[in-house]
Amino acid sequence: LTGITDLNFHASLKLYPNPVESSVLHLNTSRVMQVGLYNQLGVCLGNYTLKVGENTIDISALPAGLYWMRYAEISQKFVIIR
């Protein structure tokens, strides 16, 4: 089948804590997926392959600000507080 959207796809990724105050972003997913990390200007800062379960991304080099995690056609924002 084509053109069918998985309505539960966005529920398969949990990003926490939000806002982030540490140097690690935690992501929990129920399926293997590719995600991209973007700044406010839309510049891709990295692409990551997440495995099923708990994943972490080191964000210690990123300054405070608003960022987007993009997967499939879904975007999820998160904030880094320093």
Report whether 19 contacts 78 (CB < 8 A): yes
Name the band, by pLDDT with cuts 50, 70 and 90, for residue 5.
very low
Name the band, by pLDDT with cuts 50, 70 and 90, for residue 7.
very low
Distance (Å, rounded) from C-alpha 19 to C-alpha 24? 11
Claim: this prediction has a pTM higher than 0.85: no
Q: Residues 34-58: pLDDT tens digits? A: 999 999 999 999 999 999 999 999 9
Block residue for tokens 């690690």? 24
Q: What's the pLDDT at 4?
A: 44
